[in-house]
Each structure stands twice: as structure tokens, then as C-alpha cells.
Amino acid sequence: MKAIMVMFDSLNRRLMQPYGGDWVNTPNFARLAQRAVTFDKAFIGSMPCMPARRELHTGRYNFLHRSWGPLEPFDDSMPQILDENGVHSHIVTDHQHYWEDGGATYHTRYTTHEFVRGQEGDPWKGLVDAGVARDPNRNFRTRTQDLVNRDYINEEALMPQAQTFSKGIDFIRANAAADDWFLQIETFDPHEPFFTQPGWKEQYPHEYDGEFFDWPPYERITEPLEKVRHMRYEYAALMTMCDHYLGQVLDVMDELNLWDDTLLIVNTDHGFLLGEHDWWGKLRMPWYNELANIPFFVWDPRSSVAGERRGSLVQNIDVPATVLEYFDIERPPDMQGQPLREAVADDAPVREAALYGAHGGHINVTDGRHVYMRASANDANEPLYNYTLMSTHMRYRYDVADLRDIELQAPFAFTKDCRTMKIAASSQPLRIPFFETLLFDTQADPGQLTPVENPAVEADMVDKLVGLMRANDAPPEQYQRVGLNT
């Protein structure tokens, strides 16, 4: 038995042909939909990048206890569990956050790993005169470094995504005749910046004579329509590039007859707003379905169901449980995700409701039709704490000032009798602004354009939300922060 997971970052599913997109070229995603099962109600869990990846290891929600950070000493890791049970786990990725302080414990859980340099502001090539070291603003420093990196990526074969898929396919070819392996091919694309070579851009000809613009801010849209359209075409070009390299994986599976004994999962961590709801990006707005309702495809050779759609409510926390069950390995008791074998085979229900969000933002729940976004009950967005034994942020360690007043927290249900540090968190983590509580009926209003007021539905969604928070052993102050009873 073999398993492959192909993971992209920031796929907006509404632009993809299998999900109704009609202007972005994604023939290989359409081909995948004919070769696998397509889930219509797949949702995110914890956001953004590394919180989502923690869930892909542990199979449980992250965002109620902690923001961005490494795997914890008490965390169960699916790739490590595979390795400990004789299944070789390998990751090849160009996702640079794995090599920063806040992601440094993930890739070493795999049996082997490969890393491709150069995405986004990866601190890769050193050009002193670019002034990276002289820029005190970490965000703008990232953009400066990105421009340095691009000078060294001047042809298709050098693109980090191209190299990532090439190395992943090399692993497949080298091990096609072997048994018991899991491969994770993970590319940072189509995450911003929307950097592609000219051949991809030429598929989307349009008039634009404005300033260089392929990296949108996480802000409300203020740009003129011409500039917004240009950005959407830049994203479309990158999505089509992603589609092309996905096609290479499908090609090699055809060539080597891997469909008979290889589980294939294709997913993303979250979507991306390209003007919908008048926003760019993610995080700084409510988690609308363009962000939260993600593309998700599964081929399971045991049932061999292809070309069908599924309405079961699934999440990325189900991926580790699905992979472990596929290799007949017992799941750890702290893993809350569920194996998707029966959902793939005959659309068996997986859960009644799904919880999702980012630390310090809305606490969201959906039943597949209604989406309920519970906002902070106070303007200060407090109390809010991080519970961790790995005190790092995204790109840097906690400042010593943050650690002088830490408390030790009693063990949570999933920390294996370990106490954690309880560290006061910023009331605006990742610059998340405050919004009111929102309720949407996505059956009547699929674009989530008009919030509804329905006390009976809201009460039901609150019950579902609180039930999931309790099941996740949420800290008491999270209930207090959003005005709920424990």
C-alpha cells in the first residue's frame, strides 16, 4: 500500500473547473475530479499556515489554545507514527515556513525530507546592497528579499513549484515497486506573491499599464477595477501552473499503474479572497466560504469510486486519521479527525458540525448549510492566552518580556499530563480586526452577502459550537471572550 498527498496553499476553489469555475484553465483538476471523489463540503480547521499543518499531523483543532507555532512535545504526528510503524514518510516542499522558528519541528517528523528554496521572502540569496538587514519592518523585509530571490529564478525549471513536483515524482519513480510509503508533495503556490514565468501569464492576456502588482495586501480593496482585474489574472496564471504540475502526478500514476494500490489526497490549507466581499487575502476579515470551504479530492483504491461527488462534512483534521487507517495503524486517542474510507465509498456522514478559525478571531461553526461566526463580546478581545511549551512566533522567538509573567497551566485533555506555559497573547493576533457576530444561510445565500437573524438557528449553532469547544477542551477564557457559558 502507498499513499500520496498533494497539497497546495491558498487555492480559491470557486475558480476551479470542478467547483464551477469557468474562466481559469484547470483541466487537470477537472481530470482529477473524474478520477477521484470530489467533496463539496470540505472545511478548514485552524488558520493560517502552520496551525493548519499542525492539524495535518495531529488530527485535532489548534486555534483555541495557541496561535502559530511548532509541534508540541505532546503532539501526535501522523508522519512520525507511520515511520514508527515501518511506513516510510517523505515530504518534499518549497513551503519556507517549515524552516522558520515557528515551524521548525514539522519536517523532522518524516522519515526523510527535501526542501526547495526561494518562495516568497525565504531568506535565501544574500545581496547586501538590497538593504534587507537595514529594513526594521519584517513584512517589508520579506518583500525585499522576495525580489532578490526572483533574480535567481529566471526560467521554468528553476521555479520552486517545478522543482518540488520534480523531486516528488523522482521519489515516486524510485519507490514505485516498493510498498509501505507515504509521500507529501507540498507547494507554497498559489500563495501570494503570484509569481510565474511569462508562458503562464500569456494564457490570460489583458491590458494593464499600472505599477508592478502581484502581491496583494491583506486589506480592504481600494485599488481601481483595472488593478483588481490584473491581480486576478496573476493569480489565475499561478493556479494554471499548479494545475499543470498536478497533471504530472496524475501522468506518473497512469504510467506506473499506481491507481490500484495508492491512496491519493489533493487538498489545500485555505482559500484566498481576490475581491470577493471587497477584500484581499485572508485573516483580516471573517472566514467567508471562499476561504473556509476548500477543494478536497480523494482516490481510495479499496472502493475505487471515481467521478462522484460527496456531501459529507469533512475537514483537514480527517487527513491523518484517513492515512493511518489506510495503513491499518491504530489512531492515537487524542486524534479527533475521522477516517474518510466510508465517506469516499458511499458518502457516509462524518460529523454533524465543523469548527474552524484563527487564534483570537471569530470562533466559527458550520453544519454544511449554516455558517455561524461568533465574535468577541468585548472591544478588547480579552482574555486571550497562548498555551505552549514551544515559545516561538512565526519568524522569531518570544521576547523575554513576554515570558517573565508566564503561569503554568494544568494539563489539558490532550497534553498527556504535561502542564503548559500560559502566556498572555496580543488582543489582535496577526492584526485581526473585530467584526460582529454573523450568521449565514449558504443554501439561500451562497455568496454570504446578507447575514440573517434567526434566533432558533442561532441557538442551535451555538449549541454545536459549544459542544465542539468542550470536546476540544477549550480554555475557559475562550468562552468568556466570545460571551458564552462553559
Where is the domain boundary, 346, 379, 407?
Answer: 346
Asked if residues 359 and 66 have their Cβ atoms less than 8 Å apart, the reply is yes
Q: Which of 346, 378, 404 is the last residue of a domain?
A: 346
Assess whether 332 and 368 both reside in one domain: no
> Would 77 be classed as within a structural domain?
yes
Q: Looking at the domain assignment, is residue 134 inside a domain?
A: yes
Q: Comparing C-alpha atoms, which of 470, 467, 471 is closest to residue 334?
A: 471
**What CATH number is associated with residue 331?**
3.40.720.10
Whether 4 and 265 have beta carbons less than 8 Å apart is answered as yes
Is 477 inside a domain boundary? Answer: yes
394-444 confidence digits (pLDDT tens)? 888 999 988 998 999 999 999 999 999 999 997 666 667 668 999 999 999
Q: Do 331 and 391 belong to one domain?
A: no
Please tell me the predicted confidence (pLDDT) of residue 327.
Answer: 98
Q: Which domain holds residue 401?
A: 356-481
Q: What is the pLDDT of residues 32-72, one digit of tens each?
A: 999 999 999 999 999 999 999 999 999 999 999 999 999 99
Is residue 55 included in any domain, yes or no?
yes
**Considering 307, 327, 346, which residue would you say is the last residue of a domain?**
346
The reply to whether 486 falls in a domain is no
373/340 same-domain check: no
Count CB-CB contacts under 10 A for residue 72: 22
Q: What is the pLDDT of residue 139?
A: 67
Q: Which residue has the cell 485552524?
A: 46
Strand positions, DSSP E, 22-104:
37-43, 46-47, 88-93
Distance CA 158, CA 215 (A): 20
Kindly report, residue by residue over 299-354, the tens digit of the pLDDT.
Answer: 999 999 999 999 999 999 999 999 999 999 999 999 999 999 999 999 999 999 99
106 confidence band (pLDDT: 50, 70, 90): very high
The pLDDT of residue 140: 75
Whether 441 and 319 map to the same domain: the answer is no
Specify whether the CB–CB gap between 284 and 433 falls below 8 A: yes
Average pLDDT over residues 230-252: 98
Q: Is residue 351 part of a domain?
A: no
Residue 81 CA to residue 73 CA, distance in Å, equals 14
Count of domains observed in the chain: 2
